[in-house]
Amino acid sequence: MTIEVRNLVKKFGGFAALDGVGLKVNDGELLALLGPSGSGKTTLLRIIAGLDWPDAGEVSFNGEDALAQGARERHVGFVFQHYALFRHMTVFENVAFGLRVQPRAIRKDEATIRVRVKELLDLVQLDWLSDRYPSQLSGGQRQRIALARALAIEPRILLLDEPFGALDAKVRKELRKWLRSLHHEINVTSIFVTHDQEEALEVANRVVVMDKGRIEQIGSPDDVYERPASAFVHGFIGESIELPVQVEGGVVRLGDQPLRLAADGLAPGASRLFVRRHDMLVGPSGSGAFEGAVQHVRNFGPVQRAEIALSGGETIEIDAPRGRELRAGDTIGLEPRRYRIFAG
The contact set with other proteins (CB under 8 A) reads 6, 49-51, 53, 65, 67-72, 74-78, 80, 82, 84-89, 97-98, 100-102, 133-135, 142, 149-150, 152-153
CB of residue 301 to other proteins, shortest distance in Å? 36
Would you report the helix, strand and coil content of the chain in percent, each value rounded to 5?
A: 30, 35, 35
By beta-carbon proximity to other proteins, the closer residue of 123 and 281 is 123
CB of residue 162 to other proteins, shortest distance in Å? 12
By beta-carbon proximity to other proteins, the closer residue of 134 and 292 is 134
By beta-carbon proximity to other proteins, the closer residue of 101 and 267 is 101
CB of residue 192 to other proteins, shortest distance in Å? 15
> Please, what is the angle between helix 91-100 and helix 110-123, to 10°?
130
CB of residue 171 to other proteins, shortest distance in Å? 16
Distance of alpha carbon 290 from alpha carbon 315, whole angstroms? 12
Residues 6+ apart with CB under 8 A from 114: none
By beta-carbon proximity to other proteins, the closer residue of 166 and 251 is 166
Distance of alpha carbon 224 from alpha carbon 233, whole angstroms? 7
By beta-carbon proximity to other proteins, the closer residue of 72 and 327 is 72
CB of residue 59 to other proteins, shortest distance in Å? 10
CB of residue 157 to other proteins, shortest distance in Å? 11
Q: Are 214 and 33 in contact (CB under 8 A)?
A: no
CB of residue 217 to other proteins, shortest distance in Å? 21
Neighbours of 73 (CB within 10 A): 10
By beta-carbon proximity to other proteins, the closer residue of 171 and 281 is 171
Torsion angle, alpha carbons of 37, 38, 39, 41, to 10: 80
Beta-bridged to residue 79, according to DSSP, are: 160
CA separation, residue 135 to residues 69, 90, 141, 299 (Å): 34, 10, 11, 44
HSE-CB of 291 using CA atoms within 13 angstroms = 8
Which H or E run includes 169? helix 169-186
Distance of alpha carbon 230 from alpha carbon 236, whole angstroms? 10
By beta-carbon proximity to other proteins, the closer residue of 37 and 135 is 135
